[in-house]
Structure 1
Amino acid sequence: MARKIPLERYRNIGIMAHIDAGKTTTTERILYYTGKSHKIGEVHEGAATMDWMEQEKERGITITSACTTCFWRDHQINIIDTPGHVDFTIEVERALRVLDGAIGVFCAVGGVEPQSETVWRQADKYRVPRIAFVNKMDRVGADFFRVVDQIKERLGHNAVPIQIPVGKEDEFAGVVDLVRMKAVIWTGEELGAKFDVVDIPDELRDEAERWRENLLDAALVFDEEVMEKYLEGEEVSEEELRRCIRKGTLAMEFVPVLCGSAFKNKGVQPLLDAVVDYLPAPVDIPDVRGHRPGTDEEITRPTRDEAPFAALAFKVMADPFVGSLTYIRVYSGVLESGSYVLNSTKGKKERIGRLLQMHANHRNEIKEVRAGDICACVGLKYTTTGDTLCDESDPIELERMEFPEPVISVAIEPKTKADQEKLGVALGKLAQEDPSFRVRTDEETGQTIISGMGELHLEIIVDRLKREFKVEANVGKPQVAYRETIRKPAKAEGKFIRQTGGRGQYG
């Protein structure tokens, strides 16, 4: 079966940010405007498509990263919405490992917050090009330019606005597009699906000209031809400017900054345009590197359908209907359902039962996946997070992921003896799903100890035991096995007593 969408039109992106910057709300708007969902799900109402777990709906936070696919301007965009809470930082880590680009969302009031710095560092580690979206421009205290300065100073990146806001706080109406030099205004009708492209308001023209100059100075350095043309006094076309911004973004030397208010349905369509215009396709990133299993011989895999198959498993999830789902990112070649592959990390052969395209917790069965695709597989027995799946005839082992060490431990025991075995099975499944969650038995006290990235992390685990596995458990502090030991020599006097019958001897 031939490829329906050329690889140049793929975008594999993640949405990352501090807690409550508006990642899931932004994703919900993206799904609505691309026609993937026909109703906007609000996070605070527990109706967000991407927050499908019961705990996510109740708490209004993202706990597990969710995948979906949508289409914009004839491009296929695979999106992973990640959690913002520090306890679930592993979800961001493994998403960034397999993505080509990212949107960093910032609150227009809070600016660069602690977890923003963490996710930004993670994206630097995997060299993921990104664009920034300053959200919540409608809130009291919103300041777009302050956030741009913070991205430069605290994150050390060359953040350059490619839009400026029209109004702010209650009066935020839209944005000025500095590439087209037009204003984009939302009137608030039809949930933001309709907007007007008009001339820049007179009171903003001088400021727009100033920021346009700033954009040209920062972007044109990436293309000498266009730079010379500009210096000779010629006009730079929209297409040329977009090309320069794209070059800088892919080189990770330029971060385009956009603004909007996802909750008020403003600024999301230009954000989608920026994803298509500036973030990389799988062919724009360097070929994936790995080594021949059992040797140090380095090999690369080009991002092509004709190359031997290679994929990385980045997430394993327990599923009540199909057992376990293994999420993979395909780097090269083609994979068909029902075929056999080699897990080169474990040295085991695996059969692909079914292939599924995921939309949060909804699934669509597909026959094959090709280079650049992200999908879920059913039927893998040995594969865990970070394992490489490849062609048996041409094996490769890709770089594994690094997982942080747990920071907190508690003791857990079932409320009834009958749940003892069920608890062991359930904890095993959860540990397989989440590499930052560990289970062990303390040899001295005999207690089962669970360790994770924070109190919330372990609280969610215990809640999942109850809901998904029907195991009631008690949690408490681990017992400490106290020991006595000789620390230094000491002298003491004592009475010698010996009695073998009769009066005895006393010394």
Structure 2
Amino acid sequence: MKKTVVGLLAHVDAGKTTLSEAILYGAGAIRRLGRVDDRDAFLDTFELERARGITIFSKQAVFSMGDTEVTLMDTPGHVDFSAEMERTLQILDYAVLVINGADGIQGHTETLWRLLKRYQIPAVLFVNKMDQAGTDKERLMAELKDRLDEGCVDFGGWQADGGEWNPGTDERESFAENLAVCDEAVLETYLETGEIGREEIIRMTAGRKLFPVFFGSALKMKGIESFLRGLFEIVRAPKGSSSFGAKIYKISRDSQGNRLTHLKVTGGVLCVKDALIGEEKVNQIRIYSGSKYETVQEA
């Protein structure tokens, strides 16, 4: 099975952890929706996080999307824990930047955007809390284009059909034009044929020329289905090397005091008893999803 890592990033109070619940529930990875306010969110695994209602440590959950296994990384949104968030960036294949639709782009949102550019991480945007009074989709889209990138394009109400991206509304031409201007080669093809294929969208997103934008409410599960469908069509697993490679991004300890080395395997295979750092050997491989884990012989 192909594997990819997608990280959730946001300014504090944008509803990032609530979105992680909605994604996992919509993907069938959890059976019930937890809530930050109820202190039972799947990825708020530490008592301090539940008590304060914020994410302090980066955590992961695993779910399937077609033939791809997705590791979803929930990162801290509070600026006090930004170092924990930034360590996680080095292992991401894609990022989902969550924006509070009621407040718009915050200062820390722009900081996150600059970090995504520095690490060259393809990004999809989810504008949350659109159920709240006073939210204005057109104003928010203008703000995204002005303060983040002109390549931000509204993907709400659009779906893939027969291998091509087709609108769910009668605004096909406007959508296609917004896509086409993100890349000169795509624009030339569009002017000649009047069509933009799915592969062009995938390539533009991976190349950080296009930033698909989805709108909804994670708390009300509004827009989650189309968002997940969009991710399924856009996200592609990276090609790995046949030789072993890995990126270590965190060291921690479990509840029994055992030392844990958190890493992403970027190529080849890691097996129990392999030497990972110097002469230190791997004595157990765990794949975490929330607070639970599965032990495997190789990864």
Over 3 Å counting, the alpha-carbon distance change for 1:332 and 1:139 in structure 2 is same
CA contact 1:106–1:112 (8 Å) conserved in 2: yes
Return the offset for 1:275: 2.2
CA contact 1:222–1:248 (8 Å) conserved in 2: no
RMSD over aligned CA atoms reads: 2.0
Q: 1:128 aligns with which of 121, 133, 144?
A: 121
Q: Which runs of 5+ in 2 are unaligned?
A: none
CA contact 2:49–2:55 (8 Å) conserved in 1: yes
1:57 and 1:222 map into 2 onto residues whose CA distance is 49
Matched, 1:217 2:180: yes
Q: Which runs of 5+ in 1 are unaligned?
A: 164-174, 183-199, 284-302, 370-507
Return the offset for 1:231: 2.7
Secondary structure of the equivalent of 2:174? helix
1:115 and 1:210 map into 2 onto residues whose CA distance is 34
Structure 2 equivalent of residue 161 of structure 1 = 154
CA contact 1:219–1:244 (8 Å) conserved in 2: no
1:263 and 1:64 map into 2 onto residues whose CA distance is 22
Higher relative contact order (CA 8 A, sep 6+): 2
Structure 1 equivalent of residue 40 of structure 2 = 47
2:69 and 2:149 map into 1 onto residues whose CA distance is 31
Post-superposition CA distance 1:300-336 (Å, at most 9, x none): xxx22x31x2212101112122512110011222110
Secondary structure of the equivalent of 2:90? helix
CA contact 1:11–1:276 (8 Å) conserved in 2: no
CA contact 1:41–1:47 (8 Å) conserved in 2: yes
2:119 and 2:85 map into 1 onto residues whose CA distance is 11
Amino acid at match of 1:318: R
Matched, 1:275 2:231: yes
CA contact 1:162–1:215 (8 Å) conserved in 2: no
Matched, 1:359 2:289: yes
Structure 1 equivalent of residue 255 of structure 2 = 320
Structure 1 equivalent of residue 219 of structure 2 = 263
Structure 2 equivalent of residue 490 of structure 1 = none
1:215 and 1:367 map into 2 onto residues whose CA distance is 47
Over 3 Å counting, the alpha-carbon distance change for 1:19 and 1:42 in structure 2 is same
1:81 and 1:263 map into 2 onto residues whose CA distance is 16
1:57 and 1:101 map into 2 onto residues whose CA distance is 27
Query: Number of residues paired by the alignment?
Result: 295
Moved more, 17-26 or 214-223: 214-223
Return the offset for 1:58: 1.3
Q: 2:166 aligns with which of 180, 186, 210?
A: 180
Secondary structure of the equivalent of 2:279? strand
Over 3 Å counting, the alpha-carbon distance change for 1:330 and 1:176 in structure 2 is closer
Secondary structure of the equivalent of 2:133? coil
Post-superposition CA distance 1:162-207 (Å, at most 9, x none): 22xxxxxxxxxxx45593322xxxxxxxxxxxxxxxxx4xxxx4xx
TM-score, length-normalised on structure 1? 0.55
Return the offset for 1:269: 2.3
Return the offset for 1:157: 4.7
Return the offset for 1:339: 2.1
Identity fraction in percent: 32
CA contact 1:15–1:102 (8 Å) conserved in 2: yes
Structure 2 equivalent of residue 19 of structure 1 = 12
Amino acid at match of 1:328: L
Over 3 Å counting, the alpha-carbon distance change for 1:281 and 1:52 in structure 2 is same
Amino acid at match of 2:166: R
Return the offset for 1:74: 2.6
Return the offset for 1:131: 0.8
2:85 and 2:185 map into 1 onto residues whose CA distance is 30
Return the offset for 1:160: 1.2
TM-score, length-normalised on structure 2? 0.91
Structure 1 equivalent of residue 197 of structure 2 = 241
1:222 and 1:132 map into 2 onto residues whose CA distance is 24
Return the offset for 1:241: 2.9
Over 3 Å counting, the alpha-carbon distance change for 1:242 and 1:14 in structure 2 is same
Structure 1 equivalent of residue 191 of structure 2 = 231
Query: Which structure has the greater CA radius of gyration?
Result: 1
Amino acid at match of 1:317: S
1:79 and 1:41 map into 2 onto residues whose CA distance is 16
1:282 and 1:105 map into 2 onto residues whose CA distance is 23
Amino acid at match of 1:352: V
